[in-house]
Each structure stands twice: as structure tokens, then as C-alpha cells.
Structure 1
Amino acid sequence: MLLNFESILISHGFTPDRYDFESTIIGFDYDLHISLFDSHTCFDVDKCSTYRQWNQPNEYLRADLITLTGDVDAGIQFFYQRWCTELRYQNPVREVIDVQRLKQSAAIHVLTVSQHNAMTLLFNIK
């Protein structure tokens, strides 16, 4: 099921003419690299990529994450642990984390909204 994060952003007052999504995308991209690709990561840093998608309101930032061992469940757990401890807004007004687990991969769609900021992300884990 494809979630319509754009309509949720709009309902919270986050539109491109009223909010600087570009700065938020750049900041989140930086934060992802710091929190997901450190020396304790379960991801193969050389094979992972992030994409800033300025015109994709349902997934402004996409990360393709390849695990070192092929253990997708470990990748999901690692992501979720880092999301809760390092990436999420401290006091989110709205947060949606939708995990779609397939045989050999997972897609995690995230919407996070705080009082002053908002972001949509897609994490593809293999």
C-alpha cells in the first residue's frame, strides 16, 4: 500500500511555498550518513546510496541500504534502533513508520512531523 505522505504534510501546514524542504533534505541526508554508516554499522557503506528527491513529496530522501551479511531483518533492527536513538524528532507531532518485508528485501517508508519540521523518507534494505 502506497501511503500518501504529501497530503499529511499539507494537513500539518508543510507545503513547498511555506517550508524549506531543501534544507531539511540536506540535513537528514547528512544525519543518515553519520548515524547509519559508522564503524558499528551492519550495512556495506561502499554499496549504500542516498538520493535527494526534491520533487518526491512521499519520499524526499531515499536510501538504498545493502547489509554486509544479507540479513535483512538485522538491517531493519539496526535502522529502527538508530531511528529511535539518533534520527527521529524529539517530540514528533506525527510519525508513521511503514515496514514492508519481502522475501529478500524490505522497504521502510517514514513520515516524521514535528512542530517546526517535517520529512518523508524511504529506506530500501537488501
Structure 2
Amino acid sequence: MNTRIVELETLLRFAAWGCLAVIAFATLSPIGLRPTTGLSPSIERFVAFALVGALFASAYSRYILFAAAVVIGAAVLFELLQVLEPSRHGRLFDASVKLAGGTAGLAVGSIVGRWLRRG
């Protein structure tokens, strides 16, 4: 494999795990520490998980099932773990928005990952 592609995959992997860590903090921290953009929380959730899905699918393009398990698993797990934080709540609707965003991101990232491997 081309050295440049390996370097890009490594960078994408760092970005994917870093993005997931930021989402975990934003999702599981007390509500007062949650960063906001001014957009609807549903849009924020969708975009955050679309981004992490695209990063994981691009970074792990040869292991798309692994990428999907991480993204989908994180969406469900983060909602379940919100029950442990008194100022937060886990809701089925929020989980479904995260799942939709993650799935859309995985689809886009999969296409990008295939394109990168061809290059």
C-alpha cells in the first residue's frame, strides 16, 4: 500500500477517536458543561455522529463492520450512560437521531474510504 495512504489512514484514525472522545465528553458531562452551537440539539447530535461515522468509515475502510460497530455502539451506549448523570437523560428519540447521523456518516465515509484506496 502507498505510504501516503497509510499516513492518511493514521491521521483519520486519530481524528475519528478524538472526535468520539469529544462526543463522549459532550454527551456524558453535566448539562452545564455541554458545548452548544446555537443549532437545535437534534441537528447537533445528527451532525456530530455523521462526522464521527464518516471519519471511522474512512479510517477503517477495510474494516467497515468494525467502524459501524464502534459508531452505532457508541450512539446507544452514550444514551444509556446518560442515565447515570443526574442532569442528563437518555431518550430513545435522541438515540435514533444519533443512529441516523452515524449511519449517514458511515455511508459517506465508506465511499470516501474506497476512493482513497483507489488513489
> TM-score when scaled to structure 2?
0.30
Bigger share in helix: 2
> TM-score when scaled to structure 1?
0.29
Bigger RCO (CA 8 Å, 6+ sep): 2
Bigger share in strand: 1
Larger radius of gyration: 2
